Amino acid sequence: MNQAALAAVFLLGAGATAAHADARLDAFRSACIPDRADYEATLLKAKEDGWVEVAAHDDPELAATLGVLRKENDPQGLAIVTPSRKDVAGRALYLVAASFPQEQSLVTSCLLFDFGAHEPIDPDLVGKWLNAPPDEVLGAPVEGSVAAWRNAEALPDATVKAMFVPDGSPAISHSGFSGVLLRIDSVAQ
């Protein structure tokens, strides 16, 4: 088979799987997973992937969300939190790398936000990637939904969450945003 034929087969195959993919999940996996328990390495990987650091006030929902994140995870004010922005598949996405000192450990978090999303990421896509069903699924049409995977075989010592908060949800007052969130929290060993 010549190179043109091989390229055509590859492109056709890629198109077939693209219908079952989500560019946001791909961006999350690329930036957040390789060095998930290392804040500095996660920042470096994000930069290599084209994420550009921004100030918290770059977006009002980003600013509100970072306030909630700090309040819930950093009562002593010791965290390092770095937001970045990138256009993915025509959408402005935000990535937040964070390092939270805990009593006996250091938790590194990486969060991807799509504030313009009106539909959740399919939890089956996340489950296929992690090769596990979620450990917990919560949701209601008005409030939103969250699926969580804890210590999946593919990512031991980590928790992955896929969250969706619809426009107008009362959950916005607690989360600081509407849209999609993908999050991983990893404990340094």
CB atoms within 10 A of CB 132: 17
The tens digit of pLDDT for each residue in 81-136 reads: 999 999 999 999 999 999 988 777 888 999 999 999 999 999 999 999 999 999 99
Q: Which pTM was predicted?
A: 0.85
The tens digit of pLDDT for each residue in 5-38 reads: 322 222 233 333 333 589 999 999 999 999 999 9
**Does pLDDT of 183 surpass 70?**
yes
- Give the per-residue pLDDT at 12: 30
The tens digit of pLDDT for each residue in 143-162 reads: 899 999 998 888 888 999 99
- Give the per-residue pLDDT at 20: 57
- Give the per-residue pLDDT at 94: 97
Decide: helix, strand or coil at residue 136.
Answer: strand
- Give the per-residue pLDDT at 189: 60
- Give the per-residue pLDDT at 122: 92
Non-local CB neighbours of 50 within 8 Å, separated by 6+ positions: 86
**Does pLDDT of 139 surpass 80?**
yes
The tens digit of pLDDT for each residue in 48-89 reads: 999 999 999 999 999 999 988 888 877 777 788 999 999 999
Name residue 147's beta-bridge partners: 137, 162
- Give the per-residue pLDDT at 39: 93
Q: Burial code of 111-131, b = ≥16 C-beta within 10 A, e = fewer?
A: bbbbbebeebbebebbbebbe
